[in-house]
Chains A and B, each alone.
Chain A
């Protein structure tokens, strides 16, 4: 079983905390082209996702490969335009922001990517890499920029700073590279951090360090974090809530403890059996996936998208009608007909 964070009095805070980001019925569809021009349907990578994230709240999004996690994040990062639905940040609808507004939004959202080496331009020094967001963010004073670079690098423990400033990414270890990526995400002092599988490409030995670093930063800066992972075992490091994603939908949303102690969705149950500790020797993920193929996102199964693989399928219902969200226990939402 999974280690769960010490019970803070999350519940009481919950209602008083401000909403930072609010996602409403978000759809992200990619058009499929036949022979480069003919229309051949859509890849429904995100298909009706709704959630809120509050100030200093941390959310983990889990799900198997290809279920649309990255598409969801990239849409939040305004890299993709939503096909339908709304993203509201700090009470401002992203679709209504002009260029300046979008700049403002981008400076409030940090992005930590999966592959640290690919995420760093190979021809830029660490200093240049960290300076870029500052230049783009309109910080004209070089002194000021250097100062902020130093500060960010100290925060991610790339010290002594001067030893690293003039290095190129290939001169750094994977862990150090990821620290640079995190420093870059933090350099504009964002409110929200999006981390897309930040440790999955790293050596098992440095995973825990990086997760602890992220968790420390989160606490220190009251960051809201959306943490995407394959690996349920790493969730406990700094997440309050877990969203389980399946074929473009969030099928279960609840506090970590609730999900771990009492998984409700059959898919979540299947996932949990495949979880291991992050620092364990054989930190593999999703060993025992539910049997069957992952669903097609172009022609998703009718009704509940999990029904072809579900062991508890209710014939005549699950395969016909799409399950709405039910709330069998307070704060624990699940999209499954079992809880109707």
Chain B
């Protein structure tokens, strides 16, 4: 307990350790948040979902906070619905018990430069035989009322403003968005800023019939992280990619470091052919093309992240560090406390695990922490190479999608930068902590 307290106190003396720890704690918090709020199966479902899941979102939208950097603010997407009360709905029964009217209105401030990509209303209605009926109108900030549509509502109905031909005819233009957001008096094609109102007057013709609506505006910006080609909210892979990246990095680092150490210790301890074999395997492994093998496994067998993790660990165990651990173990092996342990009958496994390895823990911990980023990057690189896990939302996958879609050529920097920055922050956090740990555990390095 006191030892733990002391090491924490030691750590706090290093600014880099504090910075590293803050970053890692933040990533940890994000991971916990992601795992708690989005169950695994839900994450997979959303990530693999298409239009039916993500219809509310615009394509290729940068994050909403990009407006901070623009002097001309771009339209930010939103969606509101009557089912959760974000859009108001009032039902009034009439004298005829069969008939009632449903009034849905939504007003919003529009203070952006330019027009939205699209406006949509998704109607859902419940009835037995008789269709409900709605008429939609649009009230502009200067008080004009534009009739948008009158129609019967089936059980569900999607109304897209810009694709409605009747509306195009009525407005005498193909560009509905221009027509309903522009000031007709203005000579300079400027959009009208101010409060717009959507008014839906519905009528139901059965006793228990209902009408609900969802109003969606596709702007050029969306949410905290933006969207991709498939309208997917990038917040999902950014959030959910955190625990995956950390898990992959930590497990791979822990797995390789511990196994490498145990193997190096066992080889040194038993000596003879065991040691020889380990040495030779290491030498062969060092010249094996690591990435090529992973690519082969990914291409011909499976791209599951857990399989990749296993192969990564397997290929990293017999790394160069086996040799450096070995040289230290050879010294420890000759120490008189190990001779004493043999004299009182400690078994080989006891000597390996209780005498040889604990001595190395001061070296192991910083090495382990510093090894994490390279594995995090590896996972991302695999994904970028198209060998990412096919079902999991990961940072690397986002970069991969972005590249595949030529995001950088299209100026969609956010798409690449967001996951890339997260990767860098993660690497930076572990590296900072690793430096400090190295200095604490190996005081001889302090002056270097």
Contacts and interface: CB of A to CB of B under 8 A. Distances in A.
B87 interface: no
Given A118-B335, A119-B337, A136-B350, A109 B358 contact: no
Given A122-B359, A123-B359, A113 B346 contact: no
Given A184-B344, A188-B344, 17 more contacts: A74-B339, A77-B343, A106-B343, A107-B345, A109-B343, A114-B336, A118-B336, A118-B337, A119-B336, A120-B337, A121-B337, A121-B358, A132-B346, A132-B354, A133-B345, A136-B346, A137-B345
A115 to B, nearest CB: 6
Contacts of A106: 343-345
Interface residues of B, number: 18
Given A120-B337, A122-B359, A103 B345 contact: yes
- Main SS of chain B's interface residues? helix
B350 A113 contact: no
B29 interface: no
Contacts of A246: none
Interface of A: 74, 77-79, 102-103, 106-107, 109, 111, 113-115, 118-124, 132-133, 136-137, 181, 184, 188
B131 interface: no
Interface of B: 335-337, 339-347, 350, 354-355, 358-359, 361
A103 B343 CA distance: 10
A113 B340 CA distance: 8
A122 B355 CA distance: 10
The 8 closest A-B CB pairs, nearest first, are A106-B345, A133-B344, A111-B343, A118-B336, A121-B337, A119-B336, A77-B343, A123-B358
Given A132-B346, A136-B346, A113 B359 contact: no
Contacts of A137: 344-345
Contacts of A79: 339, 342-343
Nearest to B346: A136
A281 to B, nearest CB: 29
A109 B336 CA distance: 16
17 contacts: A78-B343, A103-B345, A106-B343, A111-B340, A111-B344, A115-B336, A119-B337, A119-B339, A121-B355, A121-B358, A123-B358, A123-B359, A133-B345, A136-B341, A136-B345, A181-B340, A184-B344
Nearest to B332: A121
Given A122-B359, A123-B358, A136-B350, A113 B344 contact: no
A122 B340 CA distance: 13
Nearest to A133: B344
B345 A113 contact: no
B3 to A, nearest CB: 10
Nearest to B360: A123
A107 B346 CA distance: 11
Nearest to B334: A118
A111 B338 CA distance: 12
Nearest to A118: B336
Contacts of B343: 77-79, 106, 109, 111
B342 A132 contact: no
A111 B358 CA distance: 23
Contacts of A102: 345
A98 to B, nearest CB: 13
Nearest to B341: A132
A120 B341 CA distance: 10
B340 to A, nearest CB: 5
A107 B344 contact: yes
Nearest to B355: A121
Contacts of A121: 337, 355, 358-359
Nearest to A169: B337
Contacts of B340: 111, 113, 119, 181, 184
Interface centre among B337, B354, B359 (most CB of A within 10 A): B337
A28 to B, nearest CB: 15
A136 B359 contact: no
Contacts of B354: 132
Q: Which of B345, B346, B354 has the most CB of A within 10 A?
A: B345
Contacts of B341: 132, 136
Contacts of A103: 345
Nearest to A73: B343
A136 B344 CA distance: 7
B178 to A, nearest CB: 76
A327 B340 CA distance: 37
A119 B339 CA distance: 8
A102 B337 CA distance: 19
Contacts of A107: 344-345
A121 B355 CA distance: 7
A132 B346 CA distance: 8
Contacts of B337: 118-121
Contact of A132 (B336, B339, B344, B359): B344
Nearest to B340: A119
Contacts of B355: 121
A133 B341 CA distance: 8
Given A123-B358, A123-B359, A113 B336 contact: yes
Nearest to A111: B343
Contacts of B342: 79
Nearest to B2: A166
B117 to A, nearest CB: 64
A168 to B, nearest CB: 10
A200 B342 CA distance: 23
Contacts of B347: 136
B261 to A, nearest CB: 15
B269 to A, nearest CB: 14
A114 B336 CA distance: 9
